[in-house]
Amino acid sequence: MPYSMTRWNNGLDEVEQVSADITDETNALPARYFTDPAVHEMEKEKVFGRYWVYAGHANCIPEAGDYFTRTIGDREIIVLRNHDGDIQAFYNVCAHRGSAIVEETPMTDPDNARRIQCPYHLWTYDLDGDLASTPRSFEEARLNPDLNDEDVPDLDAEENSLMEVHSDRIGPFVFVNFADDPMSLAEQAGKLKSELESLPLAEYELAQRIVSEVECNWKVFGGNYSECDHCQANHQDWVTDLELLDSELEVNDYHWVLHYKHREDVDDEMRIHDEHEAQFHYFWPNFTVNMYGTADGYGTYIIDPIDEERFQLVADYYFKDPELTDEEERFIRTSRQLQEEDFELVERQQRGLTSGAIAQAQLGPNEHTVHKLHRLAQTAYEA
Amino acid sequence: MPNHTHHTHHSQPAPFVATCPDCEIERSSESATELVAFYRRHHGHTGHDIVVTRADLEFGAALDAADGVAAVVDGLDARYGVDKHDSTESGTAGVPIGIVVAAMSERGFTVGETLEEIADVRMTGALYEPRDDHLAAF
């Protein structure tokens, strides 16, 4: 077995693409992909513009007309429930002259509208996106001496609808995709779809959202989430109840799972899945489902980039009742402790990457989940 | 490069600190304007308001505590609005919005309340932006 060698920025070493073979020394994404502003801009299109990205939770918009907004990269969308009870997503952009229509409306504080109306010139859209009405000034030409009213073309409702964004669901989780002709969500999700749909996720309500800003590239945190080699040394309180050596890291095409066995079994009421373990699902590019196995509920993370060296961790916690019990608050506090411990680690790693010494790091043999993350990023960049 | 810092990286306290009372998340920065950016990002995901808990203002104490936002901007302009490199022909480059937010926090306003107040007063014509996120009084 040849020895592995880190590639330094020393004028001698060269970086290479992420090797498909994890035993190769070039098994990690070159460091500049974690520090370069141009990469951040590129990812808006090549990552967040082409893959299925989590938009929000269907239970937050239960009634027709309920909606929230979400910004992904530079794209701002409206996610709403239509009169048929289906969820659709549209660009938050008026078909008239391109104005943003509704104000920023987070999922935690959704709004309701009978119709979507642009405040600029009052073009109004039905909940299915079709243009419902325009003011009379768009139907006649009384201010324009060069036109007669009969010269004014009719505005077709469908041809002038809001621009729809592909959307689909896994249980209550709503995903969107900005590509013209994307692969299906089912294809990207693989077995994640059947696994999550076998669980009663829709029976749980959003009880708490905590958003933290962290000073590292989003992929640094994604990599940290995806392995637990760091847990023994850095999450000492949490790992006392786990059998880390019995853990399994399962890797699929766009999704990987960390299974952590509990040292002493937990009541069935404290898990929403059958296996006696904690399950952490990472779904490329930036969504996770966290089932700790010690609470009757689940959590999700959105790892939302701000720029090349900062991201927001949007942590949502779901329980049967949105009013938290004392026990559930303690559970969230434990989760927060894990986050803070991880934030310290990932900010430390970003400082090292930003210093410019390293050109291409290397991954260990049990960091195959991180390897998958890096391989997917490279594939996206090359597409 | 983004202008921001984090408390874990610096032994000296940052001059500007803000917190979300709902999330108990704190943000520190060398730049008051970064706290406004923090508010906008955080509010966008949560709807939560942000409170400035520390603001080292060079000129804030000289202002009248009863001043409204337009008077605060006017009072800060002599110190913060003069920028020889960026100033416009009218003589002011405007007060950074973060400085206004910090000064208003000493009057009990949250970040969201100050931004709302600024928007309301701008609509009366009494405030304008000589450049983005900088305010001047008319």
Model pLDDT for residues A112-151, shown as the tens digit of each residue: 999 999 999 999 999 999 999 999 999 999 999 999 999 9
**Chain A residues closer than 8 Å to B119 by CB:** none
- Full 3-state SS string of chain B: CCCCCCHHHCCCCCCEEEEECCCCEEEEECCHHHHHHHHHHHHHHHCCCCEEEEECCCCHHHCCCCCCHHHHHHHHHHHHHCCCCCCCCCCCCCEEHHHHHHHHHCCCCCHHHHHHHHHHHHHHCCEEEEECCEEEEC
Looking at the predicted structure, is the pLDDT value of residue B7 above 50? no
Q: Which two tokens stand for residue B13?
A: 């306290």
Task: Please indicate whether, in this complex, the C-beta atoms of A344 and B8 are within 8 angstroms of each other.
Answer: yes
Task: Please indicate whether, in this complex, the C-beta atoms of B23 and A310 are within 8 angstroms of each other.
Answer: no
pLDDT, mean of residues A355-381: 96
Which of A105, A213, A317, A350 is most worth mutating to test chain B (most B CB atoms within 10 A of its CB)?
Answer: A213
Which of B35, B45, B116 is most worth mutating to test chain A (most A CB atoms within 10 A of its CB)?
Answer: B45
**Chain A residues closer than 8 Å to B27 by CB:** 213
**Chain B residues closer than 8 Å to A344 by CB:** 8
pTM: 0.90
Q: What is the CATH T-level fold of the domain A53-177, as seen in this structure?
A: Rieske Iron-sulfur Protein (2.102.10)
Looking at the predicted structure, is the pLDDT value of residue A297 above 80? yes
Q: Given strand B16-20, what is the order of strands in its sheet?
A: B25-29, B16-20, B51-55
**Chain B residues closer than 8 Å to A306 by CB:** 2, 41
Q: What is the pLDDT of residue A295?
A: 82
Helix, strand, coil share (%) of chain A residues, nearest 5: 25, 30, 45
Provide the residue type at A288 as one letter.
T
Q: Among A303, A61, A290, which Cα is nearest to A174's?
A: A61
Q: What is the pLDDT of residue A12?
A: 85
Rounded to a whole number of angstroms, the distance from the CA of A263 to the nearest CA of chain B is 31
A172 contacts A57 by C-beta, under 8 angstroms? yes
Looking at the predicted structure, is the pLDDT value of residue B2 above 50? no
Q: Which two tokens stand for residue B32?
A: 């008051």
Residue with tokens 């520390």: B54
Task: Please indicate whether, in this complex, the C-beta atoms of B4 and A109 are within 8 angstroms of each other.
Answer: no
pLDDT in tens, A144-199: 999 999 999 999 999 999 999 999 999 999 999 999 999 999 999 999 999 999 99
**Chain A residues closer than 8 Å to B9 by CB:** 215, 347, 351
> Which comes out higher in pLDDT, residue A1 or A50?
A50
Name the interface residues of A facing B (CB cutoff 8 Å): 71, 104, 106, 108-109, 209-213, 215, 304, 306-307, 309-310, 312, 314, 344, 347, 351
CB of B25 within 8 Å of a chain A CB? The answer is yes
Q: What is the pLDDT of residue A379?
A: 97
Share of chain A above pLDDT 70, in %: 96
pLDDT in tens, B78-133: 888 765 445 445 567 899 999 999 999 999 999 999 999 999 999 998 999 988 89
Q: Which residues pair with A100 in a beta bridge?
A: A93
ipTM of the complex: 0.74
Q: Among B1, B55, B59, which Cα is nearest to B27's?
A: B55
Sign for the pseudo-dihedral over CA of A55, A59, A65, A66: negative
A215 contacts A348 by C-beta, under 8 angstroms? no
First to last CA, chain A: 33
Round to whole Å and give the CA distance between A39 and A48: 12
Q: What is the pLDDT of residue A341?
A: 93
> Which comes out higher in pLDDT, residue A204 or A241?
A204
**Chain B residues closer than 8 Å to A317 by CB:** none
pLDDT in tens, B10-52: 457 889 999 999 888 899 999 999 999 999 999 999 999 999 9
pLDDT, mean of residues A251-255: 96
Looking at the predicted structure, is the pLDDT value of residue A1 above 60? no
Q: What is the pLDDT of residue A265?
A: 61
Task: Please indicate whether, in this complex, the C-beta atoms of A210 and B6 are within 8 angstroms of each other.
Answer: no
Round to whole Å and give the CA distance between A156 and B126: 43
pLDDT in tens, A26-64: 999 999 999 999 999 999 999 999 999 999 999 999 999
When pLDDT is cut at 50, 70 and 90, the band that residue B5 belongs to is very low
Share of chain B above pLDDT 70, in %: 80
Q: What is the pLDDT of residue B83?
A: 57
Q: Which two tokens stand for residue A372?
A: 């998958």
Round to whole Å and give the CA distance between B30 and B45: 24
Q: Do A199-382 and A53-177 have the same topology in CATH?
A: no
Round to whole Å and give the CA distance between B3 and B28: 11
Contact pairs from chain A to chain B, CB under 8 Å: 50
Round to whole Å and give the CA distance between B98 and B80: 11
**Domain-by-domain residue ranges, chain A?**
53-177, 199-382
Rounded to a whole number of angstroms, the distance from the CA of A272 to the nearest CA of chain B is 26
Q: What is the pLDDT of residue B8?
A: 43
Average pLDDT, chain A: 93
Displacement of CA A164 from its chain's centroid (Å): 19
Q: Which two tokens stand for residue A337?
A: 């402790």
Task: Please indicate whether, in this complex, the C-beta atoms of B45 and A211 are within 8 angstroms of each other.
Answer: yes
Architecture of domain A199-382: Alpha-Beta Complex (3.90)
**Chain B residues closer than 8 Å to A109 by CB:** 46-47
**Chain B residues closer than 8 Å to A210 by CB:** 23, 25
